[in-house]
Amino acid sequence: MPRLRLALAQTNPTVGDLEGNSRQIVEAARRARAAGADLVATGEMSITGYPIEDLASRPSFLSASKQAVQELAETLAAEGLGDLPVVVGHPDGPFEPRLLDTSNAPTAIAKNCASVLLDGRIVTTTAKYHLPNYSVFDEYRVFIPGDELLVVRIRGVDVALIICEDLWRDGGPVGRVMDAGAGLLLVINASPWIADKDEVRLPLVTRRATENDTLVAYVNIVGGQDDLLFDGDSVVVDGSGAILARAPQWEEHLLVAEVEADASANRTLPAGIRRVDVAGPAYSGDDARSPAPAADIAELPDDLEQLWNGLVTGLRDYVGKNGFRSVILGLSGGIDSAVCAAIAADALGASRVYGVSMPSQWSSDHSRSDADDVAERIGVNYSVEPIADLVAPFESQLKLTGLAAENVQARARALILMGLSNLDGHLVLTTGNKTELSVGYSTIYGDSVGGFAPIKDVPKTMVWELARWRNAFALAQGLVEPIPSNSITKPPSAELRPGQVDQDTLPPYDVLDGILDAYITRALGAADVVALGYDAAVVAEVTRLVDRSEWKRRQGAIGPKISGMAFGRDRRLPITYRPSGL
Ligand X SMILES: Nc1ncnc2c1ncn2[C@@H]1O[C@H](COP(=O)(O)OP(=O)(O)OP(=O)(O)O)[C@@H](O)[C@H]1O
Ligand Y SMILES: NC(=O)CC[C@H](N)C(=O)O
Binding residues for deamido-NAD(+): 407, 436, 552
Q: Does 191 bind ligand Y (CB under 6 A)?
A: yes
Q: Does 410 bind ligand DND (CB under 6 A)?
A: yes
Phi, psi dihedral angles at 398 (to 5 degrees): -95, 0
164 is catalytic: yes
Q: Does 440 bind ligand DND (CB under 6 A)?
A: yes
Q: Does 459 bind ligand DND (CB under 6 A)?
A: no
Q: Which is nearer to ligand DND, 262 or 336 (CB)?
A: 336
Q: How far is the CB of 76 from ligand DND (least distance, A)?
A: 52
The CA distances from residue 203 to 163, 209, 247, in Å, are 17, 10, 16
The DSSP secondary structure of 272-297, one letter per residue, reads: TEEEEEEE-----S-SS-PPPPPP-B
The CA distances from residue 489 to 464, 485, 486, 575, in Å, are 9, 6, 5, 36
Q: Is the dihedral of CA 254, 260, 266, 267 positive or negative?
A: negative
Distance CA 174, CA 163 (A): 10
Q: Which is nearer to ligand Y, 48 or 431 (CB)?
A: 48
Q: Binding site, residues?
A: 134, 191, 197, 330-337, 407, 431, 436, 552
Catalytic residue among 111, 164, 495, 561: 164
340 is catalytic: no
Q: Does 407 bind ligand DND (CB under 6 A)?
A: yes
Q: Does 509 bind ligand DND (CB under 6 A)?
A: no
Binders in 356-375 for ligand X, by CB under 6 A: 356-359, 363, 367
Binders in 226-245 for ligand DND, by CB under 6 A: none
The number of helix segments (H) and strand segments (E) in the chain equals: 18, 19
Distance CA 380, CA 383 (A): 10
User: Binds 444, which of ligand DND, ligand Y, ligand X, none (CB < 5 to 8 A, cut-off by type)?
Assistant: ligand DND
Q: Which of 233, 262, 370, 447 binds ligand DND (CB under 6 A)?
A: 447
Q: Does 547 bind ligand DND (CB under 6 A)?
A: no
Binders in 137-156 for ligand Y, by CB under 6 A: 137
Which residue, among 2, 22, 26, has the nearest Cα to 13 in the 3D structure?
A: 22
Q: How far is the CB of 302 from ligand Y (least distance, A)?
A: 22
Q: Which of 4, 6, 161, 335 binds ligand X (CB under 6 A)?
A: 335
Q: How far is the CB of 85 from ligand X (least distance, A)?
A: 51
Residue by residue, what is the 3-state secondary structure of 393-404?
HHHHHHCCCHHH
User: Binds 367, which of ligand X, ligand DND, ligand Y, none (CB < 5 to 8 A, cut-off by type)?
Assistant: ligand X
Q: Which is nearer to ligand X, 231 or 447 (CB)?
A: 447
Which residue, among 155, 180, 151, has the nearest Cα to 1 in the 3D structure?
A: 155
Alpha helices in 441-535 (DSSP H): 460-476, 485-489, 509-516, 526-531
First to last CA, the chain: 60
Phi, psi dihedral angles at 518 (to 5 degrees): -70, -45
Q: How far is the CB of 444 from ligand DND (least distance, A)?
A: 4
Q: Does 313 bind ligand DND (CB under 6 A)?
A: no
Whether omega before 192 lies within 30 degrees of 0, making that bond cis, reads: no
Number of residues that bind ligand X (CB under 6 A): 21
Which residue, among 29, 39, 54, has the nearest Cα to 6 in the 3D structure?
A: 39
Q: Which of 336, 406, 517, 570 binds ligand X (CB under 6 A)?
A: 336
Question: Which stretch, 12-20, 128-136, 302-310, 489-497, contacts ligand X (CB under 6 A)?
Answer: 489-497
Which residue, among 281, 300, 117, 110, has the nearest Cα to 203 in the 3D structure?
A: 300
Residues 6+ apart with CB under 8 A from 26: 72, 75, 76, 79, 81
Q: Does 29 bind ligand DND (CB under 6 A)?
A: no
Question: Which stretch, 142-150, 186-194, 216-224, 490-498, contacts ligand X (CB under 6 A)?
Answer: 490-498
Q: Binding site for ATP, residues?
A: 330-337, 431
Q: Which of 505, 508, 535, 580 binds ligand DND (CB under 6 A)?
A: 505
Q: How far is the CB of 107 from ligand DND (least distance, A)?
A: 31
Helix axes 59-78, 18-34, angle to 10 degrees: 30
Helix axes 335-348, 303-321, angle to 10 degrees: 70
Question: Which stretch, 33-41, 208-216, 323-331, 400-408, contacts ligand X (CB under 6 A)?
Answer: 323-331
Residues 6+ apart with CB under 8 A from 570: 135, 136, 561, 563, 564
**For residues 223 and 13, is the Cβ–Cβ distance under 8 A?**
yes
395 is catalytic: no
Q: Which of 38, 92, 158, 165 binds ligand Y (CB under 6 A)?
A: 165
Q: HSE (CB half, 13 Å, CA atoms) of 356? A: 25
Q: How far is the CB of 487 from ligand X (least distance, A)?
A: 7
Here's the x/- map for ligand X, 390-419, by CB under 6 A: it reads as -----------------------x------
Residues catalogued as catalytic: 44, 128, 164
Give contact residues for ligand X (rule: CB under 6 A).
329-332, 334-337, 356-359, 363, 367, 413, 431, 436, 447, 492, 494-495
